[in-house]
Amino acid sequence: MRLLTTTMALVLAAGAASAEDKITIEFAYPYSHLFDVTYQKILPMFEAAHPNIEVQFRATYESYEDGTNTILREAVAGTLPDVTMQGLNRQAILVEKGIAKSLEPFIAEEPDFAREGYHQAMLDLGTFQNRVYGLPFSISLPVGYYNMDLMAKAGLDESNLPTTWAEVVATCEKLREAGVDNPVFWGWNITGNWFLQALMWSQDKPTVMGADFTLDEPQGLTALSTMHDIFRGCEMQNLEWKAALASFSAGEIAMMYWSTSALGAVERAQGDFALKTNEFPGIERAPRGLPAGGNAAMLVSTSEDPAELEAAWTWLKFITSGEGAAEVARTTGYMPPNKAANEIILKDFYTQFPNKETAVRQLPLLREWQAYPGDNGLAVTQVIYDGLEGIVTGEHDDMESLQEDLTEEVQDLLPSGS
């Protein structure tokens, strides 16, 4: 009896020691409708490889802006997670405020870091003052989604899809004549004024230069006028993204312009029609550049425990490299920003799933998704959002006047000295 009791005590002691040895880290990410399925695939692989690390998931951020605001609040309250996913254009503010930790000390201890597939073009997206603060997790570009059954009503097939916005408007007219009430959804309301930047980069023009908002230049007026032409010429309804996705999935919208990131969600909700993705149209010609969307993993832990920090780095590295990164492509429409995942693990993937290859073909157009400098960056995003919505709703028809108003209001919010 004494032997049994002693044995049980040893077992319990071993179990307690094992529980104490297990390190728990906290992780938060945006867009549950896009990424829940991705992390459901990644987590079991990580747990099998690292049974001593437990990853606790926090409530998801509704958007990149919500993610940044949440981290800023948590930094003040002292309730930060260990790792956060932030929009590529929202990393800078966390670096400037000292919330994000440099990953350089961890990278320096990784002799095989380069062989994991990271390459400079992708590392640059999370590099500030020559130090890496964020490892990109997923990269997206804007693309066109087409209901080919409806497109046939306009006399179009895969060989002659629209390549310019003027062609899109002309196609809208044919679709309406064929009885399609809402022929297009164009994602003006996507996070971070992404589509405004897409129209600017299409003309090879950044939206921000230093602390100057460049909408006052000719390319800015062209961007606003192009939106006006699409919204009026196509009589586009002002839909939120989830409503637009539901309408497209139900076979009611023929052409949808949005991020390639949503492809997994679109395919899962797709009705009984043929779906085709294609390159993002341009202004008079193919785009000369497009903003890189997506998010990066950042270390924001306030822990001083080296073991916990190492565990957070282990999770961060796992999800941005190898099989972890490959699951991004398998479960969403994002591209892994990891050479090994794209060229080795996913070697035959894009041949089998051509709709996911569209964004890969556009990779040479990759440009920066720009942040608005200073402490008012999120406020600037909202000002521009409100102005663009006014075009959709019919509040704004004079694009020169809107250009002037937006430029003045935004410039007042940017750092002085510009």
Residues 377 and 269 in one domain: yes
Q: Say how far apart CA 33 and CA 263 lie, in whole Å.
A: 11
Kindly state the DSSP code that residue 81 receives in the 8-state scheme: -
* Joined tokens for residue 147: 């209901």
- Label residue 408 exposed, middle or buried (CB < 10 Å: 0-12, 13-18, 19+): exposed
Whole-number pLDDT of residue 198 = 98
Structural domains of the chain, count: 2
Per residue in 164-220, pLDDT tens? 999 999 999 999 999 999 999 999 999 899 999 999 999 999 999 999 999 999 999
Distance (Å) of CA 208 to CA 130, 200, 351, 373: 21, 10, 37, 9
Quote the pTM value.
0.82
Whole-number pLDDT of residue 124 = 82
Residues 298 and 205 in one domain: no
Residues 283 and 317 in one domain: no
Residues 93 and 180 in one domain: no
Q: How confident is the model at residue 334 (pLDDT cuts 50, 70, 90)?
A: confident
Strand 23-28 vs strand 53-57: parallel, antiparallel, or unpaired? parallel
Residues 47 and 174 in one domain: no
Residue 418 lies in a domain: no
Residue 3 lies in a domain: no
Residue 100 lies in a domain: yes
* Joined tokens for residue 87: 């929009």
Residues 98 and 152 in one domain: no
User: Taking 50 as the threshold, does the pLDDT of residue 28 lie above it?
Assistant: yes
Average pLDDT over residues 220-237: 98
Q: How confident is the model at residue 338 (pLDDT cuts 50, 70, 90)?
A: confident
Q: How confident is the model at residue 115 (pLDDT cuts 50, 70, 90)?
A: low
Residue 367 lies in a domain: no
Whole-number pLDDT of residue 20 = 55
The residue ranges of DSSP E strands in 360-408, in sequence order, are: 366-367
Q: Say how far apart CA 249 and CA 269 lie, in whole Å.
A: 6
Supply the DSSP string of 297-365, one letter for each residue: EEE------HHHHHHHHHHHHHHTSHHHHHHHHHHSSPBPS-HHIIIIITTTHHHH-GGGTHHHHTGGG
Residues 244 and 299 in one domain: no
Residue 88 lies in a domain: yes
Residue 189's identity, in one-letter code, is N
Among the listed ranges 14-18, 233-237, 315-319, 407-411, which one has the minimum average pLDDT value? 14-18
Kindly state the DSSP code that residue 281 receives in the 8-state scheme: P
Q: How confident is the model at residue 18 (pLDDT cuts 50, 70, 90)?
A: very low
Q: What is the CATH number for 232? A: 3.40.190.10
Three-state secondary-structure class, residue 112? coil
- Label residue 107 exposed, middle or buried (CB < 10 Å: 0-12, 13-18, 19+): middle
For 199, the domain range is 142-291+372-413
Per residue in 281-318, pLDDT tens? 999 999 999 998 889 999 999 999 999 999 999 999 99
Residues 319 and 385 in one domain: no
Residue 281 lies in a domain: yes
Residues 278 and 341 in one domain: no
* Joined tokens for residue 349: 């993937």
Torsion of CA 352, 356, 358, 363, to 10 degrees: -110
Work out the mean pLDDT of the chain and round it to a whole number: 90
Per residue in 137-169, pLDDT tens? 888 999 999 999 999 999 999 999 999 999 999
Q: Say how far apart CA 306 and CA 266 lie, in whole Å.
A: 42
Residue 18 lies in a domain: no
Residues 255 and 377 in one domain: yes
Q: Nearest to residue 40, comparing CAs of 330, 276, 416?
A: 330
User: What percentage of residues in the chain have a pLDDT greater than 70?
Assistant: 93
Per residue in 353-365, pLDDT tens? 999 989 888 988 9
Among the listed ranges 72-81, 130-139, 232-241, which one has the minimum average pLDDT value? 130-139
Residues 119 and 237 in one domain: no
* C-beta separation of 184 from 281 below 8 A: no
Q: Say how far apart CA 389 and CA 385 lie, in whole Å.
A: 6
* C-beta separation of 259 from 294 below 8 A: no
Whole-number pLDDT of residue 91 = 94
Q: Nearest to residue 278, comparing CAs of 383, 117, 147, 371?
A: 147
Distance (Å) of CA 20 to CA 10, 13, 17, 53, 314: 15, 10, 5, 11, 19
Average pLDDT over residues 37-65: 96
Question: Which residue is associated with the tokens 């921000």?
Answer: 208
Residue 149 CB partners (closer than 8 Å, separation 6+): 251, 273, 274
Residue 384 lies in a domain: yes
Residues 240 and 303 in one domain: no
